A and B are shown apart, each in its own frame.
Chain A
Amino acid sequence: MKVLVTGATGLVGQAIQRVVAENPTDGEEWVFVSTKDADLTDGEATEALFQKHKPTHVIHLAAMVGGLFRNMKYPVDLLRNNLHINDNVLYNSYKTGVQKCVSCLSTCIFPDKTKYPINETMLHLGPPHPSNFGFSYAKRMIDIENRAFNKQYGCKFTSVIPTNVFGPWDNFNLQDGHVMPGLINKIFSAKRDGTPFTVWGTGAARRQFIYSYDLAKLIVWAMREYDEIDPIILSVPEEAEISIKELAEMVIEAMEFKGEVLYDTTKSDGQLKKTADNAKLKGYLPDFKFTDMKTAVKETVQWFVNNQDVARK
């Protein structure tokens, strides 16, 4: 088995590298690539990459991503670059005879108007939130293309849908990054500068968080054993959903922050809930143990503190 992992230097890719290093398997070779190795928006470059490595399996994490502002400003680039990346990877997977390709979607691509909890069958039931429609449609089309490759050629291409991922190697930028790394970065600065730590919003919004290390283990499992073409949500259960306030308190504890905490309620809370149903995952892996949240946050915080020189921020 030769596994090609695209986007391997990112948040999830690094976690997969860790999982693979901890669990070496005879007869398996893992190739981790990033933009340095090939521009996946380019068909010829992608073809050359696949010709060079001739993978039997692919974990496709590469994407053009961004925070709210980038998404709103560059919908064409987010749509086109991701459509091209995804088509190049899937098409070359087909041409190379890849036995299994697992791509990565996101809960942010679900319909904006929906009931909760959301599940895998609801992905295409309405338009996504307008703020990131370029990215969302491009990601949704991975699922369409998986189905089309399966129908026409019998390919086994599938996808996973994580909820909010966090961990070492994340993007901690306050503008572009997500909520967890944002809180960590803010507390780091507040602690260092002796200033208050300000949480945007009331803290009431609720989210399910999945540690990148747990997600990596599940993605590797999906690559080995999940045989459906339809996507699978990879998330902690609904009852593990926590509020931004509870999250902030966990990060404060992990970073031993003793200063003032403010909630800037003039800032938007964003979506109040995005609850995803992990029943399908539970059906397959009833005994999977997620890393305890406090432990996961502590590891992430420690990584950020110790890697200021390489952390993206």
Chain B
Amino acid sequence: MRIHVAGKKAASIRGSGPRADSRRIPFQDPGKRTRADEEAAKNTQMAACTDKAEQLKKRVLVTGGTGLVGQAIRRVVEENPSDEEEWIFVSSKHADLTDFNATQVLFKKHQPTHVIHLAAMVGGLFRNLKYNLDFWRSNIKINDNVLQCAFLSGVRRCVSCLSTCIFPNETTYPIDETMVHNGPPHDSNFGYAYAKRMIDVQNRAYNAQHGCRFTSVIPTNVFGPCDNFNLEDGHVMPGLVHKVYIAKRDNEPFVVWGTGSPRRQFIYSYDLARLIMWVLKDYHETEPIILSVGEEDEISIKESAELVMEAMDFKGEVIYDTTKSDGQFKKTASNAKLLTYMPDFKFTPIRQALKETCDWFTENFHTARK
């Protein structure tokens, strides 16, 4: 098996085993693509899905390959090598996915059979509030370019990544996969949220018109090594880890914003990666699937803070700054669909997951994103 970061050892991809090129749709400028071409592509792609080509070498392109989830997928891939698979991890250094031509060049270069699409413009609350338009436009372009290039190059499976923050703001709990489009998202990040929702709409459209097998996953709060630990832009768990680190280093109190009572379901990036690999291989619906621990594993921010302190062996003072907003009290997501598919899936115990995350942060403090 070859794991490959695009741009390095590019030549080694060539001649690495039998290729399904006889079935591959030749790359064309979409502007010149006729209706007849579309029909041919559809027929070829559908045939490719069902015949022996499925057993030939898999070439998986992972966009956003250097991020929190991408790095976790790399770890899973390294632990489970296979001669039948080639993995290519790309990031914004290799192609600007907001540009169609650049995306096309990337797909032409790597000729993937499968895509895990993680690349996105993301940000914390403040960045979203200020740049709703940029979050909308950039993500719509990235997603449209990746899905269209996946379609044009006959990619068999494409799994994209949504987020529980895109669900309707006014809703009943627990939320489930059928509820994504049932009302407007929270106003603070509507640009990002609608762009992500359009992935699901586009997946369904490609399936209806061309028979493509594109789908999406919806994780709850992800955490792990290689996260963004920035206190302004990052999410709650890496924020707590970073704060405890500083409090310990500087011998100061550890301040948690809010009362600590909001509740969240956390999923370790390593578990999410394992589940995404399963989705790529064995989840055949176009509709999204929530990837999360169960409702009973929802924990409060206070409990999360205590777990982080334990993982980092912090013995100092803890203060809850109740003047700061708690944010949404609950965002409980149902993982019933996942459980019917994978009733025996074992999530990493949160203490172990946090220990690994905190240890990684401590060892990589100087290079971690913060």
Contacts and interface: CB of A to CB of B under 8 A. Distances in A.
B204 A152 contact: no
Contacts of B181: 126-127
Nearest to A80: B144
A240 B144 CA distance: 42
Interface in A44-98: 72-77, 79-80, 83, 87, 91
A82 to B, nearest CB: 12
A151 B209 contact: no
A145 B136 contact: yes
A284 interface: no
Contacts of B182: 125-127
Given A83-B140, A126-B182, A141-B198, A76 B132 contact: no
B191 interface: yes
A74 B209 contact: yes
A125 B183 contact: yes
Contacts of B201: 79, 133-134, 137
B339 interface: no
A152 B148 CA distance: 28
B27 interface: no
Contacts of A273: none
B137 interface: yes
Given A83-B140, A137-B198, A148-B132, A76 B205 contact: yes
A77 B130 CA distance: 32
A42 interface: yes
Contacts of B134: 152
Interface string A93-134: 000000000000000000000000000000011110000011
A152 B209 contact: no
Given A144-B136, A152-B130, A133 B190 contact: no
B132 A77 contact: no
A67 B149 CA distance: 28
B209 to A, nearest CB: 4
B136 A148 contact: yes
A147 interface: yes
Main secondary structure of the interface of A (DSSP, over half): helix
Contacts of A133: 201, 204-205
Contacts of B204: 75, 133
A42 B205 CA distance: 21
B191 A76 contact: no
B360 interface: no
Contacts of B2: none
Contacts of A126: 181-183
A72 B208 CA distance: 8
A149 interface: yes
Given A76-B205, A76-B210, A144-B194, A87 B137 contact: yes
Contacts of A137: 198, 201
A42 B32 CA distance: 13
A76 to B, nearest CB: 4
Interface string B142-184: 0010001000000000000000000000000000000001111
Given A83-B144, A125-B183, A148-B133, A141 B205 contact: no
B15 interface: no
B101 to A, nearest CB: 11
B329 interface: no
B190 A148 contact: yes
Contacts of B133: 145, 148-149, 151-153
A141 B137 CA distance: 11
A65 to B, nearest CB: 16
A79 B148 CA distance: 12
Contacts of A79: 201-202, 205
Nearest to B170: A125
Nearest to B131: A152
A77 B209 contact: yes
B130 A144 contact: no
A141 to B, nearest CB: 7
Contacts of B194: 141, 144
Contacts of A91: 137
A148 B131 CA distance: 8
A294 B221 CA distance: 60
A152 B194 CA distance: 16
Contacts of A80: 144, 148, 202
B206 interface: yes
Contacts of A145: 133, 136-137
Contacts of A124: 183-184
A66 to B, nearest CB: 13
Nearest to A79: B205
A151 B190 CA distance: 11
Which of A73, A80, A153 has the most chain B CB within a 10 Å cutoff? A80
A134 B206 CA distance: 10
Nearest to B198: A137
B205 A75 contact: yes
Given A148-B133, A148-B136, A152-B134, A76 B206 contact: yes
Contacts of B144: 80, 83
B18 interface: no
A189 to B, nearest CB: 29
B198 A76 contact: no
B191 A144 contact: yes
Interface of A: 42, 72-77, 79-80, 83, 87, 91, 124-127, 133-134, 137, 141, 144-145, 147-149, 151-153
**9 nearest CB pairs, A to B:** A148-B133, A75-B205, A152-B133, A76-B205, A76-B209, A127-B181, A148-B132, A124-B184, A137-B201
